[in-house]
Amino acid sequence: MLLEVSGVSVTFDGFRAINDLSIAIGEPELRAVIGPNGAGKTTFMDIVTGKTRPDEGRVRWTSHGIDLLKMSESAIARAGIGRKFQKPTVFEEQSVRDNLSMALKNRRDPFSVLFWRIAAADHARILELAEEIGLSNRLADRAGALSHGQKQWLEIGMLLAQDPRLLLVDEPAAGMTPSERAHTTDLLRRAARTRAVVVIEHDMEFVRRLDCRVSVLHEGSVLAEGTIDHVTRNQQVIDVYLGR
Amino acid sequence: MTDIITGDPLPAPPPRRSFLRHNRAALWFMALLSLFTLVVTLLSEAVGTGLISTSLVKILGMTLCLCLVAVAMDVVWGYCGILSLGHFAFFGLGGYAVGMWLMYARAEIIIRDSLATAEIPPTEAEVADAVGSQIFGVVGSSELPALWAFAHSLPVQLAMVVLAPGLLALVFGWLAFRSRVTGVYLSILTQAMTLALSLYLFQNDSGLRGNNGLSGLQNIPGHLETPQAVIAMWFFWGSALALALGYVLFAWILSDKFGSVIRAIRDNEARVRFLGYHVESYKLFVFTLTAVISGIAGALYYPQAGIINPAEIAPIASIYLAVWVAIGGRGRLYGAVLGAAVVSLLSSWLTGGGAPDINLGFYVIEWTEWWLVLLGVGFVAVTLFFPRGIGGLFDHFAKER
Ligand SMILES: Nc1ncnc2c1ncn2[C@@H]1O[C@H](COP(=O)(O)OP(=O)(O)O)[C@@H](O)[C@H]1O
Ligand SMILES: [Mg+2]
């Protein structure tokens, strides 16, 4: 297993947002996580990326069993976990190129970055990523000038630029047109050929197109897991989620 | 060049961003600063026609030092988003470090001269004692505090110009950033630091002459016979050079990815962490480097001012620094220079009695009293109506062309 979350619980002011959650992701794998609002999907990503510390439970990384709970956010990111946020967060004041360049897999300590100058390989990688996210002719533009969907893509591009082993993608298709959504599914499926990708999504059509294993979250733990057809037939899932 | 994996030819990298060529603002700045230096030199008493008095040369040289500390402030605040209200403390520390040598070395020369006529040549201990009572008599002591152990050594005191502010910033920043203190809490903490430092220095037993501070700093040991006009000229040139080098250093640091990262930290530091950057290290780097540059600026400033005392380090001084940068336009280095130059020159003109009072008939506006009101109103007006500051005017200019 690449990522193994076991028996994790988180309480916010007495409210149990994550309740004895266990979930394991292989490499490579594409996994969709669905569930009603407030089920704890985003909090799950917060725990894996070090933003939120759980009250109990374990989070292990790779076959070496590295304990992610002991690591800072930046160390977790450097270990190979990339994240796209629910609300697109790119650096709006800076160009698309600079956004991608910051995310490139290069050394990240201040002194290396101070003396970093773009190499041919970095340049090629930026062009390649821009092509993939459809922003080739927007490289010099301010990221803030992009449309909502393009910002989502830029953030996905930044994620790919980090070349992580695990991508955590929170509601990537929100605010996208149907054709943009189709493009996004392609992108994610391609990325999942060589690495682990976990996608949180509300839209059932989108999940169906991802065509992968699905985990249904409810009240902070996994309610059902399996193919999309398997989970949508599950009576509990229908009651809490689909039936509404 | 070919791709290592596929063997395909790689696209040529973009022409390297040779930073000075692409940084038009930095080039313009250097040109204007050189021109300014040349004009002042040609009009000075020491070298030129004498149209500019020596005291004005000193004021202009001091202004250049203030511009340098403002540039440092702009980097830490305008670019990295850390509203430090303590950078003037670092400026003051640089002044104290060099001031100790200036006072000690000059006192030593005076003592040796006066003892030279004695029948028995004085021992080293006698000289040190005499220097001690010469410097510390004013606070009722005659012993040199341990702090002054190396005051006789110019190299050590020059190293202290860099080390004292640098180490203070490093320790303070490490503690503050590690605990993720940000925003207004960090600003308050930096104010507490400068307040603590100035209160400590106000004490007579601080080892730095309490509220008397260090004085006579305009007299440079080894050049006591040299006219002040010449010394003022040298310090003016030194200040101009320091400003130029500091400006270029910061412009270079900000020109590529490092600048990208610290601006990203300013805009959303949590997001930068998830990209794998250790945000605290970057903040510490910027905080400490700007503190060191502030110290150097202070070390050049106080020999021109002639005196340094703890009031210079008072919390309000650091707040003024932030006001200059805000008025000049933060997030652009020349904005900080403009703000510091305009506001500090205006301040010395208005409070120095240079500006005529305005008689309204029923009330006389005396600038010495009303200057702070003007500054306050100016600050509020800039914040409300010109958030980009004076420097923002250049944007219109650049657009119209
Ligand atoms: N930092 C926080 N403080 C308090 N409550 C939180 C916090 N983060 C999330 N929650 C609560 O935890 C629950 C799960 O939230 P979240 O993980 O965002 O759900 P979703 O599945 O919609 O992404 C919600 O009820 C939310 O209000
Ligand atoms: Mg969510």
Question: How close, in Å, is residue A186 to chain B by CA atoms?
Answer: 23
The minimal CB distance from A121 to the residues B10, B278, B279 is found for B10
- pLDDT, position B14: 57
Task: Using DSSP, state whether B14 is helix, strand or coil.
Answer: coil
pLDDT tens digit sequence for B47-102: 889 899 999 999 999 999 999 999 999 999 999 999 999 999 999 999 999 999 99
Higher pLDDT, B376 or B287: B287
CA of A86 to the centre of ligand 2 (A): 6
Q: Is A185 in the pocket of ligand 1 (CB under 6 A)?
A: no
Interface contact B279, partner A, CB < 8 A: yes
Q: Is A42 in the pocket of ligand 1 (CB under 6 A)?
A: yes
CB contact under 8 A, A91 and B263: yes
CA distance A20 to A38: 16
CA distance A24 to B85: 48
Q: Quick one: how far is CA B285 from the chain centroid?
A: 18
Three-state DSSP string of chain A? CCEEEEEEEEEECCEEEEEEEEEEECCCEEEEEECCCCCCHHHHHHHHCCCCCCCEEEEEECCCCEEHHHCCHHHHHHHCEEEECCCCCCCCCCEHHHHHHHHCCCCCCHHHHHHCCCCHHHHHHHHHHHHHCCCHHHCCCEHHHCCHHHHHHHHHHHHHHCCCCEEEEECCCCCCCHHHHHHHHHHHHHHCCCCEEEEECCCHHHHHHHCCEEEEEECCEEEEEECHHHHHHCHHHHHHHHCC
Atom of ligand 1 nearest to the CA of A13: 4
Structural domains of chain A in order of their starting residue, each with its CATH number: 3-94+164-242 (3.40.50.300)
Task: Using DSSP, state whether B20 is helix, strand or coil.
Answer: helix
Residue A67: CB atoms within 10 A of its CB come to 11
CA angle B226, B231, B237 (to 5 degrees): 150
ipTM: 0.93
Whether B56 maps to a domain, the answer reads yes
Name residue, tokens 């449309």. A147
Give the number of whichever ligand sits closest to the CA of residue A41: 1
Task: Using DSSP, state whether B358 is helix, strand or coil.
Answer: strand
Question: How close, in Å, is residue B341 to chain A by CA atoms?
Answer: 28
What phi and psi, each to the nearest 5 degrees, are found at residue B132? -60, -50
- pLDDT, position A176: 85
Whether B220 maps to a domain, the answer reads yes
The minimal CB distance from B264 to the residues A49, A91, A108 is found for A91
Whether B115 maps to a domain, the answer reads yes
Mean pLDDT of A42-49: 96
Residue of A nearest to B286 (CA): A110
Contacts of B257 in chain A (CB under 8 A): 98, 101-102, 113, 116
Domain region containing B196: 29-400
CA distance A87 to A4: 26
Q: Quick one: DSSP state of residue B215?
A: E
The encoded tokens of residue B344 equal 């500090």
CA distance B368 to B352: 7
pLDDT tens digit sequence for B262-311: 999 999 999 999 999 999 999 999 999 999 999 999 999 999 999 999 99
- For residue A203, which amino acid is it? D
- Has residue B327 got a pLDDT over 70? yes
Q: What domain count does chain B have?
A: 1
- pLDDT, position B1: 45
Beta-carbon-side half-sphere exposure of residue B69 (alpha carbons within 13 Å): 37
pLDDT tens digit sequence for B8-61: 555 555 555 567 777 888 999 999 999 999 999 999 998 889 899 999 999 999
The minimal CB distance from A108 to the residues B4, B12, B276 is found for B276
